[in-house]
Amino acid sequence: MIRLDGLTKYYGDIRAVHNLSFTVEKGEVFGLLGPNGAGKTTTIRMLTTLTKPTSGRAWVAGHDVVAEPLAVKRSIGIAPQHLNLDGELTARENLEFHAKLYHMPRHERGKRISELLGFVELEKRADDLVEGFSGGMKRRLLIARALMHRPRVLFLDEPTVGLDPVTRRKIWDLIRSLRSEGVTVLLTTHYIEEAEQLCDRVGIINEGQLIALDSPANLKRKLGNFAVEVYHEGRAERRFFPTREEALEYGAEHARCKACDFSVRETNLEDVFIELTGRRFE
Amino acid sequence: MDFLVVFERELLTFRRRFWRYLFSGMVNPLLLLTAFGWGLGRGIQLEGVSYLNYVVPGIIALSAMNTSFTSVGVTLNISRRYTKTFENYLVAPIAAHSIVLGKVLGGVLRGLLSATIIILLAFLYGAKININLAAIATILITSFLFASLGMLVGMIIWSHEDMNTFTTLFITPMMFLSGTFFSLQGMPAWVASLIKLLPLTHASLCLRAAMLGREFPVVNFAVLLAFALSFFFASIVAVRRSSE
Q: A142 to chain B nearest CA, in Å?
A: 11
In this predicted structure, what is the pLDDT of residue A258? 57
**B91–chain A Cβ distance below 8 A for any pair:** yes
- Quick count: other Cβ atoms within 10 Å of Cβ B159? 10
Q: Which residues form the domain of A60?
A: 2-219
> Is B158 at the interface with chain A, CB within 8 A?
no
Looking at the complex, report in whole angstroms how far the Cα of residue A18 sits from the nearest Cα belonging to chain B.
17
Tell whether the model's pLDDT for residue A257 goes beyond 70: no
Same domain, yes or no: A102 and A168: yes
Answer yes or no: do B9 and A84 touch at CB < 8 A: no
Q: Are residues A44 and A181 in the same domain?
A: yes
Nearest Cα residue in chain A from B95: A70
Residues A211 and A229 grouped into a single domain = no
B2 with A80: Cβ contact below 8 A: no
In a domain, A282, yes or no: no
Q: Are residues A136 and A249 in the same domain?
A: no
Q: Indicate whether A11 belongs to any domain.
A: yes
A55 and A90 share one domain = yes
Kindly report the average pLDDT of chain A as a whole number: 88
The residues near A108 (Cβ < 8 Å, ≥ 6 apart) are A99
DSSP string computed for A68-106 = -HHHHHHHEEEE-SS----TTSBHHHHHHHHHHHTT--H
- Both A10 and A35 in one domain: the answer is yes
Query: Are A231 and A139 in the same domain?
Result: no
Asked whether residue A280 is domain-assigned, the answer is no
Q: Are residues A160 and A240 in the same domain?
A: no
Higher pLDDT, A83 or A264: A83
Q: How far is A114 from chain B (nearest CA, A)?
A: 20
Q: How far is CA B104 from CA A254, B60, B146, B150, in A?
A: 72, 19, 9, 8
Among A201, A187, A191, residue whose Cα is nearest residue A23: A201
Determine the pLDDT at residue A226.
Answer: 83
Nearest one of B141, B75, B135 to B111, comparing CA atoms: B141
Q: Which residues contact B104 (CB under 8 A, 6 or more apart)?
A: B72, B144, B147, B148, B151, B232, B235
Is the same domain home to A24 and A135?
yes
pLDDT at residue A280, as a whole number: 45
B88 touches chain A (CB under 8 A): yes
Query: Does residue A187 lie within any of the structural domains?
Result: yes
Residue A278 lies in a domain: no
A271 within domain boundaries: no
Alpha carbons A136 and A139: distance in angstroms, whole number: 5
**Tell me, what's the pLDDT at A256?**
62
What phi and psi values does residue A17 have, to the nearest 5 degrees?
-140, 135
Structurally, chain A folds into a number of domains equal to 2
Alpha helix segments (H runs only) across chain A: 40-47, 69-75, 91-101, 106-119, 135-147, 165-180, 192-198, 216-223, 244-254, 269-277
Give me the total of CB pairs closer than 8 Å, taking one residue from chain A and one from chain B.
58
| Closest-CA distance of chain B to residue A217, Å | 35
User: Does A276 fall in a domain?
Assistant: no
Whether residues A214 and A231 share a domain: the answer is no
Q: Do A88 and B5 touch (CB under 8 A)?
A: no
Q: Write down the domain spans for chain B.
A: 2-241
Complex ipTM more than 0.85, yes or no:
yes
CB contact under 8 A, A51 and B12: no
Q: What are the chain B neighbours of A79 within 8 Å (beta carbons)?
A: none
Q: Tens digits of per-residue pLDDT, B4-59?
A: 999 999 999 999 999 998 888 888 888 988 888 788 877 888 888 889 999 999 99
Provide, rounded to the nearest whole percent, the portion of chain A with pLDDT above 70: 95
DSSP annotation string for B74-107: HHHHHHHHTS-THHHHHTSSS-HHHHHHHHHHHH
Same domain flag for A42 and A124: yes
pLDDT tens figures, B166-205: 999 999 999 999 988 888 887 888 988 899 999 999 999 9
The answer to whether the CB atoms of A101 and B5 lie below 8 A apart is yes
**Per the domain annotation, does A168 fall within a domain?**
yes
Residue A255 has what pLDDT?
A: 64
How, if at all, do strands A184-189 and A2-11 pair? unpaired
Enumerate residues 6+ apart whose C-beta is below 8 A from A161.
A81, A191
Asked if residue A279 has pLDDT above 60, the reply is no
* Domain of residue A48, CATH code: 3.40.50.300
> Would you tell me which residues 24-53 of chain B have a C-beta closer than 8 angstroms to some C-beta of chain A?
none
- How do residues B124-165 score in pLDDT, each as one tens digit? 988 899 999 999 999 999 999 999 999 999 999 888 889 899
Kindly state the helix (H) or strand (E) to which residue B62 belongs, with its residue range: helix B51-81
Q: Virtual CA dihedral for B156, B110, B112, B18, nearest 10 degrees?
A: 180
